Amino acid sequence: MVETAVSERVRRYRRRFDELDATIAAQMDRWGMPVLRVAVAVVFIWFGGLKVFGVSPAADLVAATVYVVPPSLFVPVLGVWEVFIGLCLLYRPLIRLGIFLLFLQLPGTFLPLVLLPEVVYVAFPYALTVEGQYIVKNLVIIGAALVIGGTVRNE
């Protein structure tokens, strides 16, 4: 008898938990993609804007990586490119263009891992400096871009 009452109480709690879990999951499904898109856009607009205005802490790293174009030209142009990527991600008809530009830009962000190992590693290949961590976090942006890009036909 006591066992039956306990079992019934456990079933009720499980049912309530399942209902709550379903509600939370539905809200995450509803808001996840817009929040992801805006978050990636904000990162690109913010970091790009810092380059445009000459106050990016990454400017020296970019300048040390690029040999073909003078950094005084390349860094602000890269900043404008990044701001444009962010703006494209905010405006639905331009998401595809933004993803395309993002995938053209991102491979270059990994160049310091090869060209400037003394700057990005404390101990090669596993201990990263702050600059190295800044670069490796772009793997998350690549993942986010794949998810965003994979949904453009659904929107």
Q: What is the pLDDT of residues 76-93, one digit of tens each?
A: 999 999 999 999 999 999
Within 10 angstroms of residue 45's Cβ, the number of other Cβ atoms is 19
| Spatial separation of the C-alpha atoms in residues 54 and 104, rounded to whole Å | 23
Distances (CA, A) of 86 to 110, 112, 129: 19, 23, 27
Element counts in the chain: helices (H) and strands (E): 8, 2
Domain locations in the chain as residue ranges:
33-149
Higher pLDDT: 9 or 15? It is 15
| 91 residue type, one letter | Y
Say whether pLDDT at 1 is over 70: no
Query: pTM value?
Result: 0.87
Say whether pLDDT at 5 is over 90: no
